[in-house]
């Protein structure tokens, strides 16, 4: 029987399926009875779960980040699906087909990592090639880079999401440079590679996704600059000659300015063509993908319009559904 994916749950379905659980909390209701609230998810999405008349014993049966078998019923509440949980049991990870829970399998990540290396090693500028090489041969860095999400919510919030975003952005960068000879193709490419570097430490992503304290207090733009400084020193040893000072400046400038405006958290606005192009392409990539998801996953199924999304200040047009 086909797996019940979170994103495709209908109303009032009976559920008996393995999911990933997080954010469990034991709370009293108005009448003083305890209930258990949790997030229930798989790779297709996440919903809220409620288990009425819970107790401390149930609460301790599993941890956030565990796989659990959930029994219960789906229900529509306040415009969102939730699951009323009647039974919950921890499941050993060995018995789970993890492909249901990750957006990107190991093979896909390996493929993207290979494309990343190939594009970086294909740069003409030997200094930038050396700089990139120092990242590529740092296995610990690469492990984190390939596992990090690109965000806590929104776009690319899954393991490998950062890698996927970066590789796509590098491809788009390569696609548009033929039409702009005034742009240095290698600089834009390494800018696309490095712009979100700091996210490997800004976020925590071992169990659930969150911001680290350093991420919140310092931010990935400043943290990324430190990583580039470190690798630029290594690149000098690797290359046996000094890195051109201006070249490193240009790379670091792309990182600090890639949000485009001060009010978006960049301490400097783009002042080179590559920094300018990187900002626009990064925004394009992020928004096309996140707006695309809002359209695809919209719950307003009988309307030509998505619900109103306050963070982007608009509804999106899906088009009239076919009339049968």
Nearest residue to 13 (alpha-carbon basis) of 27, 2, 26 = 2
Closest CB 93 distance from its own copies, rounded Å: 26
Residue burial 225-264, b: 16+ Cβ < 10 Å; e: rest: bebbeebbebbbebbeeebeeebbebbbbbbbbbbbeeee
> Based on CB atoms, which residue is closest to its own copies, 69 or 171?
171
- Both tokens of 192, joined, read 């696309």
Provide the 10 A C-beta neighbour count for residue 71.
Answer: 14
Closest CB 283 distance from its own copies, rounded Å: 6
d(Cα 258, Cα 224) in Å, to the nearest integer?
A: 12
Q: Which residue has the tokens 């394009």?
A: 284
Closest CB 111 distance from its own copies, rounded Å: 15
> Based on CB atoms, which residue is closest to its own copies, 101 or 204?
204
Q: Which residue has the tokens 């009976």?
A: 14
Closest CB 92 distance from its own copies, rounded Å: 28
Nearest residue to 130 (alpha-carbon basis) of 226, 229, 246, 235 = 235
**What is the DSSP annotation of 78-120?**
TTEEEEEEEEEEEE-GGGS-GGGT-SS-HHHHHHHHHHHHHHH
Backbone torsions φ then ψ of 20, nearest 5 degrees: -100, 135
> Based on CB atoms, which residue is closest to its own copies, 18 or 163?
163
Closest CB 96 distance from its own copies, rounded Å: 28
Closest CB 151 distance from its own copies, rounded Å: 17
- Both tokens of 48, joined, read 């809220």
> Based on CB atoms, which residue is closest to its own copies, 137 or 210?
210
Q: Is 94 exposed, middle or buried (0-12, 13-18, 19+ CB in 10 A)?
A: exposed
> Based on CB atoms, which residue is closest to its own copies, 73 or 142?
73
Question: Apex CA 36: angle with CA 34 and CA 41, to 5°?
Answer: 170
Closest CB 160 distance from its own copies, rounded Å: 17
- Both tokens of 136, joined, read 């590529």
d(Cα 137, Cα 145) in Å, to the nearest integer?
A: 12
Closest CB 44 distance from its own copies, rounded Å: 17
> Based on CB atoms, which residue is closest to its own copies, 2 or 181?
181
> Based on CB atoms, which residue is closest to its own copies, 32 or 139?
32
Closest CB 304 distance from its own copies, rounded Å: 6
> Based on CB atoms, which residue is closest to its own copies, 46 or 173?
173
> Based on CB atoms, which residue is closest to its own copies, 91 or 269?
269
């Amino acid at each position: 029987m086909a797996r019940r994916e979170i994103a495709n749950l209908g109303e009032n379905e009976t559920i008996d399926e393995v999911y990933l659980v997080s954010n469990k909390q034991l709370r009293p209701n108005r009448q003083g009875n305890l209930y258990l609230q949790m997030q229930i998810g798989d790779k297709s999405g996440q919903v809220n779960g409620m288990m009425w008349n819970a107790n401390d014993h149930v609460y301790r049966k599993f941890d956030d980040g565990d796989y659990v078998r959930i029994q219960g019923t789906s229900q529509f509440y306040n415009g969102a699906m939730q699951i009323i949980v009647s039974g919950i049991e921890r499941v050993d990870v060995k018995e789970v087909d993890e492909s249901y829970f990750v957006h990107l399998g190991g093979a896909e990540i390996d493929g993207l990592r290979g494309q990343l290396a190939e594009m970086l090693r294909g740069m003409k500028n030997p200094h930038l090639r050396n700089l990139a090489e120092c990242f590529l041969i740092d296995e610990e860095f690469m492990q984190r880079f390939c596992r990090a999400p690109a965000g806590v919510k929104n776009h690319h919030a899954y393991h490998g999401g950062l890698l996927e975003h970066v590789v796509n952005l590098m491809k788009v960068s390569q696609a548009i440079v033929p039409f702009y000879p005034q742009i240095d193709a290698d600089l834009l490419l390494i800018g696309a590679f490095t712009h979100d570097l700091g996210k490997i430490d800004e976020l925590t992503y071992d169990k659930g996704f969150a911001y680290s304290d350093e991420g919140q207090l310092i931010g990935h733009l400043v943290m990324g600059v430190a990583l580039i400084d470190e690798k630029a020193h290594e690149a000098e040893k690797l290359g046996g000659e000094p890195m051109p000072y201006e070249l490193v400046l240009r790379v670091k400038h792309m990182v600090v300015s890639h949000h485009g405006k001060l009010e978006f958290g960049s301490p400097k606005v783009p002042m080179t063509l590559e920094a300018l192009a990187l900002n626009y392409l990064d925004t394009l990539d992020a928004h096309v993908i996140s707006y695309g998801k809002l359209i695809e996953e919209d719950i307003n199924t009988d309307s030509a319009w998505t619900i109103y999304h306050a963070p982007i200040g608009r509804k999106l047009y899906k088009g009239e559904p076919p009339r049968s």
